[in-house]
Amino acid sequence: PELEAELQLDRLKPRPSRRVLLLQGHQSSWQEQLVVAPGTPPVCSNLTAYLRDEAEFKDKLSPVALSVALTLPREAPGLVLYGDTLVQAQVGGTWL
């Protein structure tokens, strides 16, 4: 079976106002199909994101919220995802 993986950067902002973008493609989201089957090696994706120049946006104080979603396809009856449904972390930073 396959899982749909989706990453949203700065998800609380409207798309045109997002402050963080992926280096490849300069988009604020990423999607990929992950094959999950017994005997297959673990899947690892390394994504690099960057903060847009602070002159390009006004909001410099609100946190940057990221979300990662894993979903099963509808045609996968009997399969269940189990694990944390919400993971939050806050990392401090300094504006230079």
Domain ranges of the chain: 2-91
Give the pLDDT mean for 42-57.
89
Question: Residue 27 has what pLDDT?
Answer: 95
Q: pLDDT grade, residue 47 (50/70/90)?
A: very high
Kindly report the CATH number that applies to the domain delimited by 2-91.
2.60.40.1460
Residue 85 near residue 24, CB atoms below 8 Å: no
Place of tokens 């990662």: 68
Q: Is 27 exposed, middle or buried (0-12, 13-18, 19+ CB in 10 A)?
A: middle
Counted residue by residue, the chain has a size of: 96
Q: Give residue 80's pLDDT band: very low, low, confident or very high (50, 70, 90).
A: confident
* Whole-number Å distance between alpha carbons of 4 and 54: 33
